[in-house]
Amino acid sequence: DTEVTQTPKHLVMGMTNKKSLKCEQHMGHRAMYWYKQKAKKPPELMFVYSYEKLSINESVPSRFSPECPNSSLLNLHLHALQPEDSALYLCASSQVGVRLGSYEQYFGPGTRLTVT
Amino acid sequence: AQTVTQSQPEMSVQEAETVTLSCTYDTSESNYYLFWYKQPPSRQMILVIRQEAYKQQNATENRFSVNFQKAAKSFSLKISDSQLGDTAMYFCAFRPNFGNEKLTFGTGTRLTIIP
């Protein structure tokens, strides 16, 4: 099983709403990532969890709150978002180890978020 | 800090032809990996090919091969016998072998295969 799943596929939310994005993998990967991708742009890294601990936060606004409840699951909690936060949110996972650079990141299909 | 540059925002080629996508990078690291990722329209991103900087031999995966020029910091992707399913956004990416888990992407090349 080399699949990363993300739910929901699409999400429309108002600026006062609270919602969550979910990501799951069962490949035994111990690193999980959240990316934000605008149209025709590369993914921008937001957060990295390594062994269920937050290892990288790319200065993301606090209205985005990540959570890694266990090694298979990654959530992104959203609150008081702005219209400019509308984007495709990608989750990815990879192995962690000595040869870190070689490990492929497996991407999910993404959640397309629209903030109204 | 690393930078990855893809100078061709868009390319198109006839089906069955060969196309080469360019990528250059800048780094002070000596031990690193380079990747080409493919993102088809409305589909998820997948790894096409990877290259370890210490290996002089260019990586190949079926119709996909790279031309890795370490001294020039160049890492181009060649797609032979192009197929309609190759239509996608292609991202070149860099990752050091040691350090944190961050993958640095280029700006992407949108490739269209024309029937």
Q: Residues for chain A: how many in total?
A: 116
Question: In chain A, which residues have their Cβ closer than 8 Å to the Cβ of B97?
Answer: 99-102
The residue with tokens 């962690």 is A96
For A99, name the nearest residue in chain B, comparing CA atoms only. B97
Across the range A75-79, mean pLDDT stands at 97
How far apart are alpha carbons A57 and B100 in whole angstroms? 12
Cβ contact (<8 Å) for B45 and A107?
Answer: yes
A78, exposed or middle or buried, with CB in 10 Å at 0-12, 13-18, 19+? buried
Give yes or no for a contact between A31 and A38, defined as CB atoms under 8 angstroms apart. Answer: no
Residue A96 has pLDDT above 90, yes or no: no
Q: What percent of chain B has pLDDT over 90?
A: 81
Cβ contact (<8 Å) for B95 and A101?
Answer: yes
The residue with tokens 């868009």 is B10
Q: How many other CB atoms are found less than 10 A from the CB of residue A51?
A: 10
Query: What are φ and ψ of residue A84, in 5° steps?
Result: -70, -5
How far apart are alpha carbons A53 and A61 in whole angstroms? 19
Helix, strand, coil shares, percent, chain A, to 5:
5, 55, 40
| pLDDT interval class at A100 (50, 70, 90) | low
Instruction: Supply the mean pLDDT for chain A.
Output: 93
Q: What was the pLDDT predicted at A1?
A: 62
Q: How many other CB atoms are found less than 10 A from the CB of residue B36?
A: 25
Give yes or no for a contact between A10 and A89, defined as CB atoms under 8 angstroms apart. Answer: no
Question: In chain A, which residues have their Cβ closer than 8 Å to the Cβ of B106?
Answer: 42
Indicate the pairing of strand B109-114 with strand B10-14.
parallel
Q: Which of B45, B55, B100 to mutate to test the interface with A (most CBs of A within 10 A)?
A: B45
Looking at the complex, report in whole angstroms how far the Cα of residue A59 sits from the nearest Cα belonging to chain B.
14
Q: Residues for chain B: how many in total?
A: 115
Residue A98 has pLDDT above 70, yes or no: no
Looking at the complex, report in whole angstroms how far the Cα of residue A112 sits from the nearest Cα belonging to chain B.
10
Q: What was the pLDDT predicted at B102?
A: 83
pLDDT in tens, B23-66: 999 999 888 999 999 999 988 899 999 999 988 899 999 999 99
Query: 3-state DSSP call for residue B35?
Result: strand
How far apart are alpha carbons B94 and B108 in whole angstroms? 13
pLDDT in tens, B81-92: 999 999 999 999
pLDDT in tens, A47-70: 999 999 999 999 999 999 999 999
Strand partners, A66: A76
For residue B96 the two structure tokens come to 């050091």
Cβ contact (<8 Å) for A101 and B98?
Answer: yes
pLDDT in tens, A30-44: 999 999 999 989 999
Q: Which of A53, A104, A106, A111 to mutate to test the interface with B (most CBs of B within 10 A)?
A: A104
How far apart are alpha carbons B85 and B106 in whole angstroms? 22
Question: In chain A, which residues have their Cβ closer than 8 Å to the Cβ of B44?
Answer: 4, 90, 107-110
pLDDT in tens, B8-25: 999 999 999 999 999 999
